Structure 1
C-alpha cells in the first residue's frame, strides 16, 4: 500500500469508528448510514486525495460536508495544509471541481467552510461537540497529524451555514 492509500484507509476507519460510537442511533441505523451515505464520502475522498501531493497531506485540517439534499454538491471538502487551501466539490453526476485557493477566495466560494477552517486554527475545541450534528446536512471536521493521529468530530455550529454562497 502507498502512503496515500494508508492515509485514506486511516481516515475512513476513523470516520467509521466515530459514527459507530455515536450514542443517538441504533446499531442498524449506524450500519445503514455507513454502508450508504458514508460510502459516498469514501468515494469522494479517493478522488480528492488523488489531486493533492503527498507532501501536503502529512499534517492538515479537513472539513467535509455531505448534503444529499443538494445534487449540485453532494460532497464538499476544504483542506488546509502547509501548502495552502484546497476546495473540492462533487455532484451527483460525479462531476468534480477542485481548486487550490487562498482563504480570501474560499470565503467568496463558501463562507461557512472558510469560517470553520479558520476556527480550527484558532480554537479547534470551540468546534468540537459530543452531540450529533446540528446542521440540516452532515458535517465532519478532521485533524490529521499523521496516519496514527487522526481525530474526527461533528462540529458545533459556530459558523452561520445560511451565509454559504453555494
Structure 2
C-alpha cells in the first residue's frame, strides 16, 4: 500500500529541508569560530632572542630591544618592544618599561635628583632597581617582570608576569 504525499506535506518537507541547509550554513561557521583555538597549531616558543650577549650585561639596567610578530585578527605585524635588563649576582633580571600608574615609559636614571632609580616623567613616579614602587609616588604596584633565559650566550626574553623580586 503506497501512501500519496499531499501538497501540504510536500511543501512542509521542502521548507524543512531548505531551512535545515540554511541553519547548517550559519551554525557550522559559528562552531568553527568558537572552536578555532582548539584547531590552532602550538606556539613556536615563548622565548624571543634579543641579540644581546650575556657578557654585555652588568649591574646597571640597559635597554634591550626585542621583536615579535603580533597577530590582530587577519593582520600580522612585527612589533618592537624593550625591557630593562641587568645582572643581579648570577641571575638576570628583565623589567617592563611600562609604568603601573598611567602606562608611560620609565627610564633608568631618568631624574638627576633620584639617581639609580627608574623614573616616570608623567607624574614623577619612581621605582627601585628591582622594580618595586617607592612609597609616596604615584605608582601603586611594582614594574612587571619578564621571564629570562640564556641560550648560546644570547639573552632571551619570555612572558611578562607580576614582579616576584619586589616584595
1 or 2 for the larger relative contact order (CA 8 Å, sep ≥6)? 1
TM over 0.5: no
TM, length-normalised to structure 1: 0.33
Q: Which structure features the higher share of helix residues? A: 1
Q: Which structure features the higher share of strand residues? A: 2
Higher Cα Rg, which structure: 2
